[in-house]
Structure 1
């Protein structure tokens, strides 16, 4: 029980220290240091945890995050995103559809506070269509996070495969569709359906613009295709995506901009999260407590409730999905269940951690969006109320459906 208390203490430090000028990566390393000292796992286990963080699947994850930051940086630097948005506006006839597509597409760039990139587009479109500011904020945030569930190189999915190597990325993404698709539909009915919008009059040269869109979005999907065909790690295949940006850009100071685009804070943040995960895996008493809770509460509902409360709690207090996963995934990996159900519990934990992170008041995307849209947190949460309820219903319904199929 003491180790559980120490985990909670070390993670509560994150929002407390977040009020200082310290970077999130530094705060997470401090949290890891406090946990290492308080947990009583010993020097040898601490050294092993550090070694495991910089080797094997964890190192692959860190290198991939580094390459993702480079890709996002150069796509932004050379205005590839602006070209994508302009091309979409020349293809899609419905402005309501554009409202959903733009945040979702920009969301493929896995960078902290990335909603700030799509917010200006949604703000301007919202002005044209007289959409209230709180609803504009909700639209930007709801549709911007779809990619986190589906892109194989999104931070959360990479942390999962580093933490539980047995998990199939493809299979998990397919399970994630059971959450993403219904929630996309819910988002449409809550925030888009009733908007009165004129037809988009900017459409022209549909065929040539579709080809342009395929070309401009190639840096996003080419690494996934190469990975699927060759099996090479993402940190290698993403070099092809960066090369695609090179050919799409004016190539001015390209190498300099590649180096400048490396987001060391994000890389260090993921390293700290993986270190926290390794430390927790060494905490036998904590894992025994969880195993005992799981054994005692034999029903799937009780097990899912434990995962939900834990994931949502740590997601809310950290404002970071992957930080919450650092605590939950070691516990999931210890479950004595079939491979099918291991995927189901991982899916449920991933979505639960997302819910906690998404609705957290210290969620960076939310903070940036409400600032740009000039709305209050309370106004945004009023827009969220039915979306939150729907997300919980969809999550539990999908988990019970999977349990019926796989159990």
Structure 2
């Protein structure tokens, strides 16, 4: 019980430190340091934990891949590939409702902090033309911007799941997320786009030529996945293929300087701090046993899901970062006795509910930047989310229970 109270009290410091303008990576590490000292792990134990991170292939793959994905996003923005992708889609698709869903989804492939700000100007402009209110524009941008993080194997959360539970196949986890993603797309369209006008009609032209162009200019996004699937190489090696693709698609002017400047140390430190926190949590046997006993008491199915939901929502909401909740829940999941399919289904469930806590957090950087671009108040956006948030949670529970019935 003492360990649990120490963890809760330590995490409660996060909003305070953020308000004091302490970077989130430093904040997470400070919290980890406090937990280590107060629970008896100590500085020496923390040092061994950090050393273990740097000697773990899965952890190094996660850290390096996230760094390279951030560099990829920065390079694609700098050399105008993002603008080219959007412009080409506009030449192919005349239905602006579809474009409103596709633009943030495509740009969301580039896993960069606050990446929703890249698509916000396009959504704001199209939404105004289609007479969509600013709060709805903000909701559209944020909902569809985050779809890709469930589908791409190099998204930070999926990499973190793989690093935490090596026996998990992240492509199988992605497969189990598909019903949820389909539901999110339907909900987003039904609640925010169904009744909107299409604005000024745009005629698509040269569809075949533009489809080929789109296939070429999006090569940096999907080539690394192809390399990983075909060769089985670690993701950080596969990501080099994406960087090389940007080089050949760019004008090459100052490329290597741009490559060096695109490295984001804070993003890499964020992932490192979360991985350290996860390994520290694994050493808190008293707390893990307590929660494991609670999970055993509630039985299976809905009971386990409710406990995991409360933990995930709390830690995701107060940190504004999806993997912080996973640092708590994945060690618990690895301790439970379940078959392979159930392990993958619950991995999807933990991913989804931790995402919900992060998505609605006032510290969520994509939300902060989007409402700034749309000139919308936080409360206005939360009012817009009322029905969506309820249906989103019901969708997570419904798809998880259905998957457990069919496959576990």
Please confirm whether the aligned pair reaches a TM-score higher than 0.5, indicating the same fold. Answer: yes
Deviations 1:21-55 (A, max 9, x none): 22211111111111111121345542331122222
State whether residues 112 and 364 of structure 1, in contact with CA within 8 Å, keep that contact through their aligned partners in structure 2: yes
Shift of 1:287: 1.0
SS at match of 2:202: coil
Partner of 1:108: 109
What is the match of residue 272 of structure 2?
Answer: 271
Q: What is the TM-score of this pair, normalised by structure 1?
A: 0.98
Aligned to 1:384: 385
- Mapped to 1, the partners of 2:407 and 2:196 lie a distance apart of 41
Secondary structure class of the residue paired with 2:92: coil
1: distance between equivalents of 2:309 and 2:127? 34
Aligned positions of 1:156-171 closer than 5 A: 156-171=157-172
SS of match in other structure, 1:337: coil
Cα distance in 1 for residues equivalent to 2:300 and 2:293: 13
- The 5-angstrom pairing of residues 323-402 of structure 1 reads 323-402=324-403
User: Equivalent residue for 2:31?
Assistant: 31
Can you give the 5+ residue segments of structure 1 that lack an aligned partner in the other structure?
Answer: none
What is residue 262 of structure 1 aligned with on the other side?
Answer: 263
Measured after TM superposition, the shift of residue 199 of structure 1 is 6.0
Aligned to 1:319: 320
TM-score, normalized by length of structure 2? 0.98
Q: What CA RMSD, in Å, does the superposition of the two structures yield over aligned residues?
A: 1.1
The equivalent of 1:242 in structure 2 is 243
Count of residue correspondences: 407
Decide whether the 8 Å contact of 2:326 with 2:350 is kept in 1: yes
Question: How many angstroms apart in 1 are the aligned matches of 2:299 and 2:62?
Answer: 34
**What does 1:147-158 align with in structure 2 at a 5 Å threshold?**
147-158=148-159
Q: Does 2:137 align with 1:136?
A: yes
Residues in 2 aligned to 1:119 and 1:163: alpha-carbon distance in whole angstroms: 33
Say whether residues 1:216 and 2:217 are aligned partners.
yes
Contact 2:165 2:334 in 1 (8 A): yes
Q: Secondary structure at the match of 1:87?
A: helix
Determine if contact 1:95/1:199 at 8 Å carries over to the other structure: no
Contact 1:315 1:354 in 2 (8 A): yes
**Residue 397 and residue 96 in structure 1: after superposition, are their counterparts in 2 closer, same or farther (change >3 A)?**
same
Q: Which residue of 1 aligns with 2:46?
A: 46
CA contact (8 A) 2:37 2:43 kept: no
Q: Deviations over 1:298-327 (max 9, x none)?
A: 131111000001001111111110111111
Contact 1:94-1:199 within 8 A present in 2 as well? no
Report what 1:19 is aligned to. 19
Deviations 1:92-133 (A, max 9, x none): 010111000000000001011111000000011112112111
Structure 1 residues 134 and 370, CA, compared in 2 at 3 Å: closer, same or farther? Answer: same
Distance 2:74 2:66 in 1: 12
* Dislocated runs of 4+, deviation >2 Å: 41-48
In 1, Cα distance between the equivalents of 2:34 and 2:54? 20
Q: Is the 8 A contact 1:45 1:282 kept in 2?
A: no
Tell me, which stretches of 5 or more residues in structure 2 are unaligned? none
